[in-house]
Amino acid sequence: MDRATKERLLQEFDGRVAAYAALSSYSQKLLADLLRIERLKVLAVSDRVKDRESLSEKLSRPGKHYTNLQEVTDVVGLRVVTFFEDEVDKVGQIVAKEFELIPEHCVDRRSYAEPDRFGYKSLHYVCKLPRTRRELTEHGTYRDEMFEVQIRSILQHAWAEIEHLGYKSPIAIPHEIKHRMSRVAGLLEIADIEFMEVRDASLGYRDQVASEIEQNDLRDIELNSISYLEFIRSSPLVRELDDFIKDEVHVEVDAAADADEDFLVECLRSVNLLSIGELQERLQENLSLLKAFERVFLSEHAASSNVPLGPAISIFHLVQIMSLKQGGIEGLAAFYDQHRISGSGDVWKSAQDTANAVKLAEASLA
């Protein structure tokens, strides 16, 4: 490219940089909203406008002959990083449906990447805003501009970022290092596949557990975060206790709040509850005591706070009662210390307060 053309294009860029920034910000927000509407969770949707120095370098590359700035299709760029490799195509389908693709500039770099070649795998689309949006007055300064959308998995993204540190070209590094980088690329590709299989196995296990719980076949279900969530979602006992807290103790329970399942499973295991069947039995055995305890223990909460409690809070109360029964106040204090639980800041005082509430609850049932 001759110097005069390059300077003309750079000056045009300087005059349009504000419009590019507006397009970049708007298209990023739009795509993020579209993914959210489709309930497709991704790691990131980022945007950028190519800086002047990068644009100048691109215009100067051998073999590049741009006559106008619209021929540079990545002045504005979006990047979507997915958690799993098979979600790349799902994002691509949404982009293809919601934006106007420029087919001659769209490239699937996954389809022709050779195993011994350097370079990242990703799906590259070049788009415009859809016609219905381009016609809106507020998009007038950039309605005909193109922008690039790169879509890749988190591991593909990691590979691409490492390449940018200087390992991108196969002729830039010695053969031995190139060979080692090829091995790393293979490991990342295997990891991408394994992560998808782990995800699918977890989903299959969740469905299996849900079916067994529905059939009340609980004894052999291991207590873990997945089985715990399925249990509290479907257990009539949990629902009865949550309703009791709302209707009788007058404390709201937010069923949609974070269940803190990892923490609760850790607590349950510390009192030797290792299966969903055992959890069900202990809840049933202590149902009346739990209700009496909640009436005593939560009365202060009802009087002093309108913050709703999390779902299945009775299971946490059950753990404390079991810890007290197994180890006394000293054991309960140790439980609080182990799990960093202390309402008053003093684990011994908290343990004593809980023990007093249990005594009052037991007395009310006598």
- Averaged over 133-147, what is the pLDDT? 91
Question: Rounded to whole angstroms, how far apart are CA atoms 121 and 113?
Answer: 7
Residue 15 sits in the same domain as residue 114: yes
CATH of the domain at 42: 3.30.460.10
pLDDT at 64: 79
Band of pLDDT at residue 265, cut at 50, 70 and 90: very high
The answer, yes or no, to whether residue 131 has pLDDT greater than 80, is: yes
Predicted confidence band of residue 242 (pLDDT cuts 50, 70, 90) = very high
- As a whole number of angstroms, the distance between CA 53 and CA 13 comes to 11
Residue 314 falls within a domain, yes or no? yes
Q: What angle do CA 338, 341, 344 make, to 5 degrees?
A: 135
Q: Is 340 helix (H, G, I), strand (E, B) or coil?
A: coil
At 156 the pLDDT is: 87
pLDDT band at residue 172 under the 50/70/90 scheme: low
Single-letter amino acid code for the residue at 4: A
For the segment 69-80, what is each residue's pLDDT rounded down to a tens digit? Answer: 889 999 999 999
Q: What is the pLDDT of residue 3?
A: 85
- What is the pLDDT at residue 237? 94
**Residue 251: pLDDT over 50:** yes
**What is the residue-wise DSSP string for 239-254?**
HHHHHHHHHTS---B-
Same domain, 142 and 263: no
Model confidence pLDDT, tens digit, residues 175-215: 777 778 778 878 888 999 999 999 999 999 999 999 998 88
Sole residue written with tokens 């982009």? 95
Residue 115 clears pLDDT 90, i.e. is over it: no
359, pLDDT greater than 90: yes
Helix (H, G, I), strand (E, B) or coil at 296: helix
Range of the domain at 130: 3-155
Predicted local distance difference test score (pLDDT) of residue 170? 55
What DSSP string runs through 134-187? HTSGGGTTTTT--EEEEEEEHHHHHHHHHIIIII--TTSS-HHHHHHHHHHHHH
Q: Does pLDDT of 116 surpass 60?
A: no
Q: What is the pLDDT of residue 364?
A: 93
Most confident stretch, 55-64, 108-117, 179-188, 192-201 = 192-201
Q: For the chain, what is the domain count? A: 2
Are residues 17 and 146 both part of a single domain? yes
**Domain boundary residue among 155, 176, 203?**
155
The answer to whether residue 82 sits within a structural domain is yes
Strand 147-153 vs strand 76-82: parallel, antiparallel, or unpaired? parallel
Mean pLDDT of the chain: 89
Q: What is the pLDDT of residue 128?
A: 95
Tell me how far CA of residue 363 lies from CA of 149, 172, 185, 198, in angstroms.
67, 80, 66, 50
Please state, for a pLDDT cut of 90, what percent of the chain lies above it.
66
CB 148 within 8 A of CB 77: yes
Which tokens belong to 20?
Answer: 């590019």
Q: Do residue 259 and residue 359 come from a single domain?
A: yes
Residue that finishes a domain, picked among 100, 121, 155: 155
The DSSP secondary-structure symbol of 310 reads: P
Strand partners for 44: 81
Residues 353/343, Cβ–Cβ less than 8 Å = yes
Residue 171 scores a pLDDT above 70: no
Of 142, 141, 160, nearest in space to 151 by CA: 160
Q: Is residue 217 over pLDDT 90? A: no
Last residue within a domain, chosen from 129, 155, 181: 155
Which of 222, 236, 294, 235 has its CA nearest to residue 265?
222
Task: Indicate whether 193 belongs to any domain.
Answer: no
For residue 327, what pLDDT is reported?
94
